[in-house]
Copies of this chain bind each other. A is one copy, B any other.
């Protein structure tokens, strides 16, 4: 029979077992952390009716969408988790209690040009808090704590949560009489990190006809830096001239004030007035998170406050706040940078049992006992040489190998080899289990990411 060459589509991540185990660990930590903050897991279809998914219409995204027909249905794969959330909340509003806090970790699809480190199928890990009519600023103040706990739980230390408030920017540009240009200006300033001050000044004056003096004031304003308290007191100088600005300043003050009660250390937080987030729908606090040793990666967790989640589906006003982690890209980058902890177990099993007797019952019974004790166990009963079986354990990095021969059975003991140290014990089953559990706990002590 002629064979077809197996292949995986370009832009689709498919991991080998060991890195997949690391990815699973990361997802488990995200689920745990998000749950700690009172978010409930959701799972929505990957396929939606195109008219529903594209209700908002237009934009860069539309060209990238996987859209197709099945029968007479016009269908699309979701390109983010926000639009499905909007649909979900609008559709099920009567069954939900508000504020509605959900997390979702799921794959989304964008037919981007394939290039290294860019994915067409990728996981997003989102949380959102949706209010009915209104939503307290405390939720916006809580989000840095969620980001902090998430990345600390993954093992990172050197990261910074950078926060701004869109009302401050909107108010400030209104002060300058630049309201009509504020969208253009924010998008330009958002590029500051990438293109530099000179280029931003040039775009502002040349492309958007901002007066030279105003461009200077904008650049001076956004470069206000220092501790959150320093930035806040610099902003005090503008207070009282524009209501939107004042509101933004109040909100930012609240976010900063509650940081320490929320457990976010000062070194992991900054107010950064350059952040606007490209998306027009953010209306209050906005967030970005950068790895201090890898600024080139850009933000690994971003989001913000928006006023109207589901305006295309319902008249009900549903303000919200949320963040998203591009998990597949984050995993890819961490892996590339060698930041995934190679010490954590990635083996499919904790113990490999090599039966050395004709009758396999004792070995099988031991496997059953180990499993009842929560130890991940594999029996190796294939017709292979002893050496090949040890090489198998080595290749998979299975930490313990147990031999069970006539001698051990007669003596009521189990021979157990620690594959890392080479140390071999002959103890009874209970003592062996105790030893293995202690060893596994020791091996589990590290974090997924070396931060």
A: residues with CB less than 8 A from B are 1, 3-9, 12-17, 20-21, 23-24, 35-49, 51-52, 55, 66, 68-71, 73, 75, 86-88, 90-92, 95-97, 99, 101-102, 107, 109, 111, 121, 131, 134-136, 138-139, 142, 145, 149, 257-258, 261-263, 310-315, 347-349, 352, 360-362, 364-365, 367-368, 371-372, 374-383, 392, 395-396
Contact = CB atoms under 8 A, between A and B. Distances in A.
Contact of A6 (B90, B111, B149, B368): B90
Contacts of A364: 138, 142, 258, 261-262
Copies in the complex: 2
A310 B73 CA distance: 34
A36 B376 contact: yes
B5 A47 contact: no
Given A7-B49, A38-B349, A261 B12 contact: no
A97 B396 contact: yes
Q: Top 4 nearest A-B pairs by Cβ distance?
A: A38-B378, A68-B68, A40-B348, A38-B349
A379 B39 CA distance: 11
Contact of A14 (B75, B88, B138, B379): B88
A312 B41 CA distance: 39
B381 A139 contact: yes
Contacts of A257: 361
A202 to B, nearest CB: 36
Contact of A8 (B70, B91, B383): B91
A376 to B, nearest CB: 5
Contacts of A395: 97
A377 B38 contact: yes
A35 B4 contact: no
A102 B382 CA distance: 17
